Amino acid sequence: MSPTANNLGFLYLDQNGMLIYMTTTPTVIQFPFPLDIVRDLEIINKDLLQKEVNELFKNNAIPPTRFILALSPNLLFEKVFTNAKDPQAQADIQQFLDNIPFERTGTIIFENAESKLIATNKDLYQTLTKIIQELGSVVEYIMPAYVLGIDVNQALSMNQAVLNDIHRKAPSLRQYSFLVESPAINPKASDTRIPNSSTNKPSEKPQENGDKKRLFLLLGIFVILILILAIVAYLSFGNPNP
């Protein structure tokens, strides 16, 4: 059974737990994270997390639902930059990404009054999304809560009108979803670096160096052969037998 167009849901995720609201529930469901499951933004035990979420959905009779997942500011790491093509800005951004304490990092770029790189723990939201999808629901967007104009107090007092408004405007904010990561940013999890004009061009120096080495090698061999021939000629003709 797949989620219907009328089954709308909202998830608010922060470092302490998750808030859930749907068309079919009269109040917000609160799901605090036990410390032996999630701690310091890291999943400690994925199997236990899946078990707890499964029981949560079952006990609250949550039907297949189309969810939007909003991330609290306390899950986000942010870096303001002006020109991503500037070499120094690229170095600063890469250092920022390298210092984020997660094995896998999800990133987006938020353009408002200033350009901002936003990063978070990819494993956390991907694991929760996978668990929810296995229960028959779908997570359509994963965004910073403030992009949707939502804070924790609004999430706690969520109602049908606000839920409908979030689902109405989310498609226009699709570029800020962590499900559509910025192609301009390469987090450390992929073992790549931020591209720039110099690193994107194939380097010709290795080829040039290789040609020079081969030339010197051939010249060396030629000189050695000449010396050998000279020695042979000297021994053969320079010292005739008496």
- Looking at the structure of the chain, the number of domains it has is 2
**108, part of any domain:** yes
Give pLDDT, residue 226: 80
> 176 and 147 in contact (C-beta within 8 Å)?
yes
Same domain, 212 and 128: no
Same domain, 142 and 212: no
**84, part of any domain:** yes
**79, part of any domain:** yes
Same domain, 184 and 137: yes
In terms of Cα–Cα distance, which of 187, 193, 191, 139 is closest to 167?
139
Same domain, 124 and 227: no
Give pLDDT, residue 222: 75
Distance of CA 239 to the CA centre of its chain: 79
Same domain, 23 and 134: yes
Instruction: Quote the CA–CA distance of 20 and 50 in Å, as a whole number.
Output: 16
Same domain, 175 and 213: no
Q: What is the pTM of this model?
A: 0.73
**128, part of any domain:** yes
For residue 138, the domain's CATH number is 3.30.420
What are the φ/ψ torsions at residue 111 (nearest 5 degrees)? -105, 115
Question: What is the span of the domain harbouring residue 224?
Answer: 208-242
User: How confident is the model over 108-167, as pLDDT tens digits?
Assistant: 988 877 788 999 999 999 999 999 999 999 999 999 999 999 999 999 999 999 999 999
**237, part of any domain:** yes
Give pLDDT, residue 184: 45
**230, part of any domain:** yes
**2, part of any domain:** no
Same domain, 225 and 174: no
Same domain, 164 and 76: yes
User: How confident is the model over 217-239, as pLDDT tens digits?
Assistant: 777 777 787 877 777 766 666 55
Instruction: Quote the CA–CA distance of 138 and 67 in Å, as a whole number.
Output: 6
The DSSP 8-state label assigned to residue 238 in this structure reads I
Question: CA torsion sign, 124 to 130 to 136 to 139?
Answer: positive
Same domain, 23 and 119: yes
Same domain, 218 and 98: no
Same domain, 94 and 183: yes
Instruction: Tell me the mean pLDDT in the region 37-41.
Output: 93
